[in-house]
């Protein structure tokens, strides 16, 4: 049976790298179902990710369903892995505090599959004590992190907060998928 990765894409300039993550996972015959936050649409289109994944991109938990099961529950059960890449401070904070107010947070909180998070943000945000406390809390609950690296950030500054290389994200995802 084909394994499924639920790929959560959030509102980060690094969202364009989701396209490469999809391509690499699909090369290994992994089904990729993309969930986008509303903020992600500012950086990449659902059409791009849908074309690459060959699956409908889900952006709204409250769209009329094409099937009769609650979409967030069925996706959570289907997942062999929930991979959030890139993950913003916002999505990390929501998950750390049990906030389920969009399709991605609902699926991540409803799944029994491993959840892997690849943060991408400004270095000052990444180092912020609140963000670090949220990351530590999620790690305590078993969430896996694919740590950001030092690199050029959207501001032009070089610092830790740059999304991990796509190859590393894919390798870690393949290790974690059930």
- Indicate the helix (H) or strand (E) that contains 170: helix 166-176
Q: Where are the alpha helices (DSSP H) in 14-159?
A: 18-27, 46-53, 71-78, 89-96, 103-110, 123-127, 129-140
**In percent, how much of the chain has pLDDT > 90?**
86
pLDDT at 70: 52
- Write down the pLDDT at residue 71: 58
User: Distance from CA of residue 90 to its chain's centroid?
Assistant: 12
Check whether 66 has a pLDDT greater than 80.
Answer: no
pLDDT, one tens digit per residue, over 113-163 is 999 999 999 999 999 999 999 999 999 999 999 999 999 999 999 999 999
Has residue 14 got a pLDDT over 90?
yes
Q: Which two tokens stand for residue 134?
A: 């949220």
Reported as a single tens digit per residue, the pLDDT across 70-93 is 555 667 677 899 999 999 999 999
CB 30 within 8 A of CB 46: no
For the chain, domains (ranges, CATH) are 4-176 (3.40.50.1950)
For residues 23-49, average pLDDT: 96
Exposed e or buried b for every residue in 76-93, given b needs 16+ CB within 10 A?
Answer: beebbbbbbbbbbbbbbb
């Amino acid at each position: 049976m084909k394994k499924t990765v639920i790929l959560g894409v959030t509102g980060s300039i690094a969202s364009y790298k989701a396209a490469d993550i999809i391509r690499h996972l699909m090369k290994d015959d992994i089904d990729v179902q993309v969930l986008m936050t509303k903020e992600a649409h500012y950086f990449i289109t659902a059409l791009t990710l849908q074309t690459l994944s060959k699956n409908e991109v889900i952006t709204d938990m409250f769209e009329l369903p094409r099937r009769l099961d609650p979409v967030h529950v069925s996706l959570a059960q289907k997942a062999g892995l929930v991979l959030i890449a890139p993950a913003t401070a916002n999505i990390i904070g929501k998950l750390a505090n049990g906030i389920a107010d969009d399709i991605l947070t609902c699926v991540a909180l409803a799944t029994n599959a491993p959840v892997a998070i690849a943060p991408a943000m400004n270095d000052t945000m990444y180092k912020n004590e609140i963000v670090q406390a949220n990351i530590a809390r999620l790690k305590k609950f078993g969430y896996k992190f694919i740590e950001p690296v030092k690199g050029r950030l959207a501001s032009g500054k070089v610092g830790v907060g740059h999304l991990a290389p796509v190859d590393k994200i894919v390798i870690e995802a393949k290790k974690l998928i059930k």
